[in-house]
Structure 1
Amino acid sequence: MNSYSSPKALPTPPSATTTTAEQDCTTGFTTLHPDIIEFHVLKRLDGVSLSTISCCSASLHHLSSQNNLWSNICHSTWPSTSTPCVDHVISTFPNGGPRCFFANAFLPLVDPTATNLSPSSTSAPLPSELISAVDIHYQDKLIFTKVQEMETVTGWFRCSPFRIDLLEPKDVVPTPIKHPEVDTTIINHMTLSWILIDSIGRQALNLSSHKPVMVQRHWLTGEIQVRFATILAVDHGHVQCDILVTCGVSKVGDMQVREVRLEIEDMDGMHLTGKDSLIVLQRALEGKKGRAKNRLQEGQMRYKKFVDMRRERRERKLRRDGVLDLFWVAFWVSVLLVFWRFLGTVKN
């Protein structure tokens, strides 16, 4: 007797299985009460995780777009943003308020070509007021935070070298951190965020490389100068947004923050004026921002390339000046010889 066996069911394709599993998981998760999801799940996420989970479903996208969630994330990520003046500006950002601000400020590496635009391509007017929200962490501990507002419309500002000082010359900010003996400790454990905000145009960008690109120690005083930098392309080359943090040592051996400043330099090491700096910053505010896989390596690599380009530029200039010097020396020697020959001819 012939035996009959029913045919086996065809295996479900892996893509279909995955899609079904994701739909079941999402459906089961979203059956929870929205208050439970928002106050007991979403509130515990950081900005990156919250952005990721918002892509899972329409309901999660709606719940994760609440302004209060993103305001809390901004305040916890950058304590300086909890200042009333900054918090008010953040709440009025277009396309999501705090969420839009977080997207601009969290990406610390501005595209190097973001400012490589013609002057006519800048659609918005130059910022009339800038707000700096700065936070410095060491070993995941906040050691410095400050907000500073600056007007940019006076002739004095636009004609003077661009510079933002967050501390007066005699100001000292104590920290509970022991003064490090090894420079690599600073590189590995110090992070800085310098968010520049256009309070009128409602735009923001992070000018810091997140971690130091260079550390120098003074051999006599023991002061440490920590450099953070962002390199931007402009019409005539590149410029460097240079952030310098000077740390000293107290009598009991604790680290002190003695200087925090921002400057913008061109390829020749000259400081840009306020007007030229505003043009660069405005283009960067409007330009594309990106996130590197390794922010420390990317920041150091861009800074090293800039330093190499600056050195090559200086060497070319020295060679060119040397050739011009030889030319003028030869020219005046020739003139002198002709003059002496003319005198000899006159005497004869």
Structure 2
Amino acid sequence: MASSVEAPPPSSSVVNGSLSAVHSDILETHILTRLDGPTLASAACVSSQLSSLTSKQSLWTNICHSTWPSTDTPRIQQLISTFAPHGPRSFFSNSFTNPDPDITTTTNHDHCRSSELISAVDIYHRNEFVFSKVVETETESGWFMCSPFRVDILDPKDMVPTRIPYPDTDNTCQELEEDFMLSWVLIDPIGLRAMNLSTYKAVSVQRHWLSGEIQIRFGSILSGGQKGSGWELSHCEIMVTCGGTKGGEMHVSEVCLQVEDMDGMHLNGKDILVILDRGFEGKRGNIRGREVKGKKRYEEYMERRRERKEKKLKREGRLDMLCVVCGVIIFSCLGSFIFWR
């Protein structure tokens, strides 16, 4: 009986030989244009021929616009083309994944160099486009510096209709965690820096106990800097609020970004500029598995915050008990003094 032997994988020389037989115009116009960003970046490592073809700005410009429709505006197009060192390719590399909160690789700058920040936001449901918008936020006024940092994508009276059925049960509501996708690319137009503040897929979905609105949370974890002898983390929380009625379709009524510290306090503009500056300058996570890593970081952060809160409550409980004991002792001593007098 003949034994079956699995054929070995083709060597790189065979692959390169096969590619060299294909005309470069066919590769460029019919093959490379069909790839997404991560696959295109991987293709650049296969051969010198593909490395040369995949380095063209027009190819990466189209990738950026197809990945983030919000970037297809004249100003952002101009900014993307000037990103160093490779224009749109560098922009994609910076914006596709979240900043790594590893404190050993972050830098410590005193302030953000930009007088404004640009938010390019895109929302999808089951890979179907829902809506996108670009918002510019000034960062120099006294109001921005002293007020809690918050970026609202929609005006209070705005409402974006969708074709998404309104969830009638909690199980249906939880399905939105996998179905909803959001990208929040934050751009520093002066320093020509960018990063994505969203986990891409939701980290939690809840129904508001009073209004019944669906609250879908995204976000990322950033280094908050050194405090005392340790390092702090900050949570960039992105909240998408959707309304609607049972049997009807959902509408998006709010999309906002806020940043909290480990104690759950919202940070002001002055503090957030330093944190964002570390995020811009810090290293990026791996392209593959960004959704899993983003949610894992979020869960680890929330667990650390819960433990921190429990320790704080225990300290406060012991302090309260000490105050009560001291009060009883003082009261007893005062009573004895008055009695014997």
Tell me what 1:183 maps to: 173
- Alignment counterpart, residue 148 of structure 1, candidates 131, 135, 141: 135
CA distance in 1 between counterparts of 2:15 and 2:126 reads 38
Tell me what 1:211 maps to: 201
Larger Rg: 1
Contact 2:83 2:90 in 1 (8 A): yes
Tell me what 1:110 maps to: 99
Shift of 1:335: 1.7
Q: Does 1:202 align with 2:192?
A: yes
CA distance in 2 between counterparts of 1:73 and 1:85 reads 17
What is the TM-score normalised by the length of structure 2?
Answer: 0.89
Q: Alpha carbons of 1:19 and 1:71: their partners in 2 closer, same or farther (altered >3 Å)?
A: closer
- Within 5 A, what are the aligned runs for 1:164-179? 164-179=151-166
CA RMSD of aligned residues (A): 2.2
Deviations 1:61-105 (A, max 9, x none): 222211111111111111001012211111111111111001111
Paired amino acid for 2:144: F
Contact 1:75 1:81 in 2 (8 A): yes
CA distance in 2 between counterparts of 1:292 and 1:102 reads 11
Tell me what 1:94 maps to: 84
CA distance in 2 between counterparts of 1:285 and 1:53 reads 27
Tell me what 1:9 maps to: none
CA distance in 2 between counterparts of 1:293 and 1:65 reads 20
Find the residue that maps to 2:11 and give its secondary structure.
Answer: helix
Find the residue that maps to 1:110 and give its secondary structure.
Answer: coil
- Alignment counterpart, residue 219 of structure 2, candidates 211, 217, 229: 229
- Give the number of equivalent residue pairs: 326
Tell me what 1:341 maps to: 336
Find the residue that maps to 2:236 and give its secondary structure.
Answer: strand
What is the TM-score normalised by the length of structure 1?
Answer: 0.87
Q: Does 1:23 align with 2:48?
A: no
Q: Does 1:273 align with 2:268?
A: yes
Deviations 1:160-191 (A, max 9, x none): 11110111222111112222331232012110
Q: Alpha carbons of 1:115 and 1:88: their partners in 2 closer, same or farther (altered >3 Å)?
A: farther
Tell me what 1:325 maps to: 320
Contact 1:292 1:298 in 2 (8 A): no
Q: Alpha carbons of 1:61 and 1:135: their partners in 2 closer, same or farther (altered >3 Å)?
A: same
Paired amino acid for 1:197: I
Listed as ranges, the gaps of 5+ residues in structure 1 are 1-13
Q: Alpha carbons of 1:116 and 1:62: their partners in 2 closer, same or farther (altered >3 Å)?
A: closer
CA distance in 1 between counterparts of 2:288 and 2:238 reads 22
Q: Alpha carbons of 1:220 and 1:327: their partners in 2 closer, same or farther (altered >3 Å)?
A: closer
Q: Does 1:78 align with 2:68?
A: yes
Listed as ranges, the gaps of 5+ residues in structure 2 are 1-7
CA distance in 2 between counterparts of 1:41 and 1:96 reads 21
Tell me what 1:130 maps to: 117
Find the residue that maps to 1:205 and give its secondary structure.
Answer: strand
Q: Alpha carbons of 1:94 and 1:60: their partners in 2 closer, same or farther (altered >3 Å)?
A: same
Shift of 1:255: 1.0
Q: Alpha carbons of 1:312 and 1:136: their partners in 2 closer, same or farther (altered >3 Å)?
A: same
Tell me what 2:55 maps to: 65
Tell me what 2:5 maps to: none
Find the residue that maps to 1:112 and give its secondary structure.
Answer: coil
Paired amino acid for 2:176: I
Find the residue that maps to 1:330 and give its secondary structure.
Answer: helix
CA distance in 2 between counterparts of 1:118 and 1:316 reads 30
Q: Alpha carbons of 1:118 and 1:330: their partners in 2 closer, same or farther (altered >3 Å)?
A: farther
Find the residue that maps to 1:289 and give its secondary structure.
Answer: coil
CA distance in 2 between counterparts of 1:90 and 1:293 reads 23
CA distance in 1 between counterparts of 2:136 and 2:260 reads 22
Contact 1:209 1:295 in 2 (8 A): yes
Shift of 1:115: 8.1
Contact 2:96 2:287 in 1 (8 A): no
Q: Alpha carbons of 1:308 and 1:331: their partners in 2 closer, same or farther (altered >3 Å)?
A: same
CA distance in 2 between counterparts of 1:23 and 1:78 reads 32
Contact 1:127 1:282 in 2 (8 A): no
Find the residue that maps to 2:200 and give its secondary structure.
Answer: coil
Contact 1:195 1:207 in 2 (8 A): yes
